[in-house]
Amino acid sequence: MVGYCIAAASVVVISGGWAAQTLQTFLGINIPWQVLAIIATAIVGVLVSRGISLSTTWAAIFFYFELILLVVGAVIMLVVNRGSISMAPFTIAAVTGGWKGIGLGFPLAIYLFIGWENSAMLAEETTNPRRNVPRALIVGTLSIGILYMFLSFATETAFHNDVKAITNSSLPFVDAFKASAAGILIIAYLAGVTSIFSSLIGLTNAQARILFSSAREGLLPPFFGKIHPQHRTPHAAMWTYIVVALVIVLGFGTFYNIDPVTLFGDTGTLGTIPVVVTYLLTNLALPVYMLRYHREDFNVFTHLIVPVVGTLLMLMPLWG
């Protein structure tokens, strides 16, 4: 829960930072990012506390809108910079520091996938969960992985594979798009806004239910297990989760005067570490669980070899 709250803080801070930058860039309006972060948090809090159907519908709308804009932007960058297309971004030799460089970047790579398990948290509220939850887990994770690689490849191509230029950019995708098609730069900013809202809705819906379930099982105080009398949502856990993330953001962003992009990177990395530990321990727990409770279904490859490999892979971001 601590890891997820810190990771959620990264989305909260960038919601305010990105909205402030968008308003300033296109409308010339200057509003403190902290104010916009509070507004975004309040909107998401109301949405998720009113029901899973309403909030996930809006999350899906925001996501697909973002998806279309990002893919269109990436295709434009590849077409404009087609002379720089190569397989260099996929080679280990192209990474600064080789495997050490990959290790250093791995925590942020894991951070990008945090929430892949969200659909499992919503199993109780899902139609035919035994069929639909595994589908969502597998299709969602693979699709997002492919999308990340495609967008990253387009971004690096737009930078003409110049590692130094990418490193000096605080917003590589936006800067790459600006250099390729400045006239329609608003596409990148709108995609950012909808992306942030869909992420904030999704993570609050799912991760707050961990807090709720823990209270329901007696692991945490009963307060977190309260259900809204009208909307039947775990509203106490939801508001606690998102408000704690907001407090982290306002505390460090205001008193330490950390800019939104830097604070996004800090909280994203720091929040990932306990989550990686959780993933690692879950891998180790799987064979024990299967042998103890479902020995007749135990499969050596699925329930032993795969989790062992997963555990070894999780050591990489921890070392990084």
**CATH number of residue 120's parent domain:** 1.20.1740.10
Q: What is the pLDDT of residue 319?
A: 80
Calpha distance 320→314 (Å, rounded): 10
Calpha distance 245→208 (Å, rounded): 12
Residue 285 banded pLDDT, cuts 50, 70, 90: very high
Residue 113 banded pLDDT, cuts 50, 70, 90: confident
Average pLDDT over residues 212-228: 92
Domain contains 94 = yes
Residue 42 banded pLDDT, cuts 50, 70, 90: very high
pLDDT digits (tens, 9 = 90+) for 52-71: 777 888 888 888 888 888 89
Average pLDDT over residues 142-152: 92
Instruction: Supply the mean pLDDT for the chain.
Output: 89
Q: What is the pLDDT of residue 218?
A: 92
User: How many domains is the chain built from?
Assistant: 1
Domain contains 220 = yes
Domain contains 226 = yes
Average pLDDT over residues 221-229: 92
Rg, C-alpha atoms of the chain:
21
Residue 36 banded pLDDT, cuts 50, 70, 90: very high
Domain contains 55 = yes
**Residues of the domain holding 75:** 2-272
Residue 305 pLDDT > 90: yes
Average pLDDT over residues 197-203: 86
Q: What is the pLDDT of residue 109?
A: 83
| CB-side neighbour CA atoms (13 Å) of 272 | 26
Q: What is the pLDDT of residue 255?
A: 87
Calpha distance 97→94 (Å, rounded): 9
Residue 318 banded pLDDT, cuts 50, 70, 90: confident
Distances, alpha carbon 212 to alpha carbons 57, 121, 124, in Å: 22, 10, 13
Residue written as token pair 């509070």: 38
Enter the DSSP assignment of 233: S
Residue 9 banded pLDDT, cuts 50, 70, 90: very high
Domain contains 299 = no
Q: What is the pLDDT of residue 296?
A: 94
